[in-house]
Structure 1
Amino acid sequence: MILVKLEVGDLVLNVISAYAPQVGHNESTKREFWEGLEDLVRWVPIGEKLFIGGYLNGHVGTSNTGFERVHGGFGYGIRNQEGEDVLSFSLAYDMVVANTLFRKRESHLVTFSSGLHSS
């Protein structure tokens, strides 16, 4: 993870670039990632803006039930445990999953494909 602080006039923007462990990694590796991200988020002073960009390797799903404050209702697919972790983190730190706030073209809904196809 990388944290960059940008100061423009009175605005201070902190940008965290993060890449979460992929589905299938052990729970210890995933927990270590989320704890590290929490440490970085807590380091940002209140009053400064924060943006987390990167790939959190979770499907937040189309439904925002239970997460209306952080999920705009335009997710993709079925929520998995990693997506649940993303949404719970967002709730805990009063953040929003920005790419769920607007409808996207079907071709823009999936950012990675393994290239493996079933017959």
Structure 2
Amino acid sequence: MIVSERSREAINEVQRYDYRLMKIMIASSSVNIHFFSLYAPQSGLSDNVKDAFWTLLDEQTTAVPSEDFVIVAGDLNDHDGREKNGNCAHGGFDVGERNTN
């Protein structure tokens, strides 16, 4: 996770839950902002690994006080849209083949 020098002084908390999920909490003048950075498991991993990851993310985001903001960003290893045609987000200008998740 990259943080600007200006924001660095406002960091109140850094949590690394595992190698796929971390959080920093920045205190602003009006609200705390919890930034979660993640790298979701790939489709080839077991359902147990994927379920454990999503459970951990759910537990940690719901533990944030309701008056604070939550931002989740990273590589979710997923596709966009209801249909799996692969062109709804990038217009068909991709490289390689689509994965199964």
Q: Say yes or no: TM over 0.5.
A: yes
What is the RMSD computed on CA atoms of the aligned residues? 2.7
Deviations 1:53-110 (A, max 9, x none): 101111132x4xxxxxxxxxxxxx618xxxxxxxxxxxxxxxxxxxxxxx97648x75
**Identity among equivalent pairs (%):** 23
Higher RCO, 1 or 2 (CA under 8 Å, sep at least 6)? 2
Deviations 1:29-73 (A, max 9, x none): 000100110111111100100000101111132x4xxxxxxxxxx
CA contact (8 A) 1:3 1:40 kept: no
Counting strand residues as a fraction of each chain, which structure ranks higher?
2
Counting helix residues as a fraction of each chain, which structure ranks higher?
1
Q: In the superposition, relative to structure 1, how do residues 21 and 105 fare at CA in structure 2: closer, same or farther (>3 Å)?
A: closer
**Pairs within 5 Å for 1:24-43:** 24-43=44-63
Unaligned runs of 5+ in 1: 64-76, 80-102
User: Structure 2 length as normaliser, TM-score?
Assistant: 0.62
State the distance in 1 between where 2:80 and 2:91 align: 16
- Count of aligned pairs between the two proteins: 75
State the distance in 1 between where 2:37 and 2:69 align: 14
Pair 1:2-2:25 in alignment: no
User: Structure 1 length as normaliser, TM-score?
Assistant: 0.53
Pair 1:78-2:84 in alignment: yes
Q: What's 1:54 paired with?
A: 74
